[in-house]
């Protein structure tokens, strides 16, 4: 499942097609479900590779749950009933990564990869993520957030408060968006107010963070397989500006590699760091995974300031771009195996959840209707 009503729609399409091409067809029969920018859900029965995406048939689908479990149905010229064992989620941003799709899949009883509804809600709000991490004594970049309705009503007091508490420069981020969309560095109070107002029209909440001088960025993925937490190799993204931008992540690779999603980012992989810092990043990443109630696989992003030896966690990505496959390949696990691992783990997670359901019966309804 990929696409969706999201500013990161195109990034999701790339990730979805990458998974579709790499899934082990000796084990699974994949069925591509594409959600358009306006929310239309379609089944693409002929889609097997990226080159077919633009021309592939789009068939309307409906879902139901009966005694056989979750079912997907198509109508029109192509009539088909599919009884899937799991949904592989390749959404970025929007309702596909923030919880609503997860809630729907739980309602129809279908196993799915990626974050649970609970962890999706936590990790897709940068301010809520920050609060959860701080409760677990994980260091985050100092910051504060404001609702967009309040910013649009009167932005100056919030600007002045941010300058007073955080100083300048400061970083402005839409609280729910990823892929560095909408992020601005403000060097003056006027720039900060302008960035706040602009971001308030992109998201319902806006985060302002202190700008850290002379930092290096590092990313590490974490997954849980059969109850065992695993941390990937660490990458050092190479930015062309003050902060890692959308262009750095997806456009700098040129025509040949720039269409590879996050895999096209220029990076050091493995990062050229000493063993002590590597182990520190991996251990904090695992702690953050647990603190944010994460599930399946996430990518954890950090800023490291050498002065003071300070490691700040900046973001938890519940469904990372390109599924962070390159981090796990650097750890010796092929993309195809990663996909298999996530599908099989999603089925185990689903079965475990089913065992936790409590069937609590009383006669209060019978008494109520008989009154």
Q: H helices of 66-186, where? A: 94-98, 100-108, 117-123, 126-135, 148-153, 156-166
Task: Name the nearest CA neighbour of 6 among 90, 104, 105.
Answer: 90
Q: Is 238 or 210 the better-scoring residue by pLDDT?
A: 210
80-82, strands of its sheet edge to edge: 2-3, 32-35, 41-44, 59-66, 69-74, 80-82
Q: Which residues contact 55 (CB under 8 A, 6 or more apart)?
A: none
Q: How far is CA 305 from CA 37, 190, 217, in A?
A: 39, 27, 9
**What are the structure tokens assigned to 12, written together?**
């999701």
179-208 residue pLDDT tens: 677 799 999 999 999 999 999 999 999 999
Q: Which residues contact 304 (CB under 8 A, 6 or more apart)?
A: 215, 216, 217, 218, 277, 281, 310, 311, 312
88-131 residue pLDDT tens: 999 999 999 999 999 999 999 999 999 999 999 999 999 999 99
Whether 153 shows a pLDDT value over 70: the answer reads: yes
- The pLDDT of residue 241 is 60
Query: Which CATH superfamily is 142-210 part of?
Result: ATP-grasp fold, A domain (3.30.1490.20)
Alpha-carbon span 250 to 245, nearest angstrom: 9
211-266 residue pLDDT tens: 998 899 999 999 999 999 999 999 999 876 666 554 555 555 544 444 566 665 78
Instruction: Tell me what percent of the residues of the chain surpass a pLDDT of 90.
Output: 80
- Confidence band for 174, pLDDT divided at 50, 70 and 90: very high
- The pLDDT of residue 358 is 73
Scanning the structure block, which residue is given the tokens 């209060």?
364
Quickly list DSSP for 247-269: HHHHTTTHHHHTTSGGGGS-EES
Number of continuous H segments (helices) and E segments (strands) in the chain? 14, 15
Q: Where are the domains of the chain?
A: 2-113, 142-210, 214-333
Instruction: Give the chain's mean pLDDT.
Output: 91
- The pLDDT of residue 21 is 97
Could you tell me if 211 and 217 are in contact, meaning their C-beta atoms sit under 8 angstroms apart? no
Domain 214-333 has CATH 3.20.20.70: no
Residues 270-284, mean pLDDT to the nearest whole number? 97
| Element of type H or E holding 82 | strand 80-82
Task: Name the nearest CA neighbour of 141 among 316, 303, 306, 317.
Answer: 303
Q: Is 269 or 263 the better-scoring residue by pLDDT?
A: 269
Whether 291 shows a pLDDT value over 70: the answer reads: yes
Task: Name the nearest CA neighbour of 102 among 89, 84, 83.
Answer: 89
Alpha-carbon span 197 to 195, nearest angstrom: 5
Task: Name the nearest CA neighbour of 169 among 192, 146, 144, 141.
Answer: 192
Alpha-carbon span 243 to 265, nearest angstrom: 13
- The pLDDT of residue 255 is 45
Q: CATH topology for 2-113?
A: Rossmann fold (3.40.50)
- The pair phi, psi for residue 223, each rounded to 5°, is -140, 160
């Amino acid at each position: 499942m990929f696409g969706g009503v999201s500013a990161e729609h195109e990034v999701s399409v790339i990730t979805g097609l990458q998974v579709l091409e790499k899934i082990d067809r000796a084990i699974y029969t994949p069925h591509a479900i594409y959600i358009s920018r306006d929310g239309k859900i379609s089944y693409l029965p002929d889609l097997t590779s990226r080159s077919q995406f633009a021309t592939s048939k789009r068939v309307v689908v409906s879902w139901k749950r009966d005694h056989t479990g979750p079912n997907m149905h198509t109508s029109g010229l192509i009539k088909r009933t599919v009884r899937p064992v799991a949904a592989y989620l390749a959404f970025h941003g929007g309702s596909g990564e923030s919880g609503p799709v997860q809630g729907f899949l739980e309602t129809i009883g279908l196993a799915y990869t990626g974050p649970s509804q609970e962890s999706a809600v936590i990790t897709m709000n940068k301010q809520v993520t920050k609060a959860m991490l701080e409760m677990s004594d994980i260091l985050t970049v100092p910051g504060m957030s404001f609702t967009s309705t309040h910013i649009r009503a009167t932005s100056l007091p919030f600007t002045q408060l941010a300058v007073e508490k955080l100083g300048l420069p400061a970083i402005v981020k839409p609280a729910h968006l990823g892929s560095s969309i909408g992020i601005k560095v403000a060097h003056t109070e006027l720039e900060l107010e302008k960035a706040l107002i602009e971001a308030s029209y992109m998201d319902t909440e806006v985060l302002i963070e202190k700008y850290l001088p002379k930092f290096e960025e590092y990313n590490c993925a974490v997954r849980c397989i059969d109850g065992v937490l695993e941390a990937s190799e660490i990458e050092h993204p190479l930015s062309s500006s003050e902060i890692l931008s959308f262009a750095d992540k997806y456009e700098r690779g040129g025509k040949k590699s720039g269409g590879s999603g996050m895999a096209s980012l220029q990076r050091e992989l493995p990062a050229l760091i000493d063993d002590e810092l590597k182990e520190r990043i991996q251990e904090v990443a695992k702690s953050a995974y647990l603190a944010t109630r994460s599930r399946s696989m996430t990518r954890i992003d950090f800023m490291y300031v050498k002065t003071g030896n300070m490691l700040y966690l900046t973001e938890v990505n519940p469904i990372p771009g390109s599924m962070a496959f390159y981090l796990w390949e650097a750890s010796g696990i092929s993309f195809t195996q990663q996909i298999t691992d996530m599908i099989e783990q999603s089925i185990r997670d689903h079965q475990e959840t089913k065992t936790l359901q409590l069937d609590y019966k009383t006669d209060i309804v019978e008494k109520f209707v008989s009154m």
